[in-house]
Amino acid sequence: MIISWLKSLLCDKYISPPKGLEKISKEEVFSIVNAEFPKGTKFISDANYKTISKEEMMRFLKEDITDKYLYVSEYYDCDDFSFKLMGEVSNPDWGCLPFGIIWVKEPVDTYHALNCFIDKNREMWIIEPQNDRIYKCPKSWVCVMMVI
């Protein structure tokens, strides 16, 4: 049982390509990001992207194993989970998505790294890569930096 668990963590699992891709420009991505997060540094990498449904992202997260890793404070914590999930999405099938990493300042003066994406309805979503939860960003959070 332990060997199969380790194998599942160490071996890449193929996740079939997303369905229902719709084009979206860098300008539209930037507009959506700024409407959701008026403050903070933002970097949008590509000139064009393709969006998917929230359900397609849920399918990806269900098959991805990023959330199976163990949290280790200061060594494998929120930023590491975010980078891992970003790496998993950054493949030839899924890399066209407006998907990124966001660092937020929470009301209690703590900082947290998560992932974010824009769906085909042009809505911005936050993903907690430690448990695959998808939700709208709380209004009390402030974007410090975002890279898509």
3-state SS string for the chain: CHHHHHHHHHCCCCCCCCCCCEEEEHHHHHHHHHHHCCCCEEECCCCEEEECCHHHHHHHHHHCCHHHCCCECCCECHHHHHHHHHHHHCCCCCCCCCEEEEEEECCCCCEEEEEEEECCCCCEEEEECCCCEEECCCCCCEEEEEEC
More confident site: 86 or 9? 86
Which residue bears the tokens 């970097």?
43
Over residues 17-35, mean pLDDT: 97
Mean pLDDT across the chain, nearest whole number? 94
Which residue bears the tokens 């991805």?
64
Span 1-14, pLDDT tens digits: 666 555 555 556 78
Share of the chain above pLDDT 70, in %: 92
Fold of 23-147: Beta Polymerase; domain 2 (3.30.460)
For the chain, what are the domain ranges?
23-147
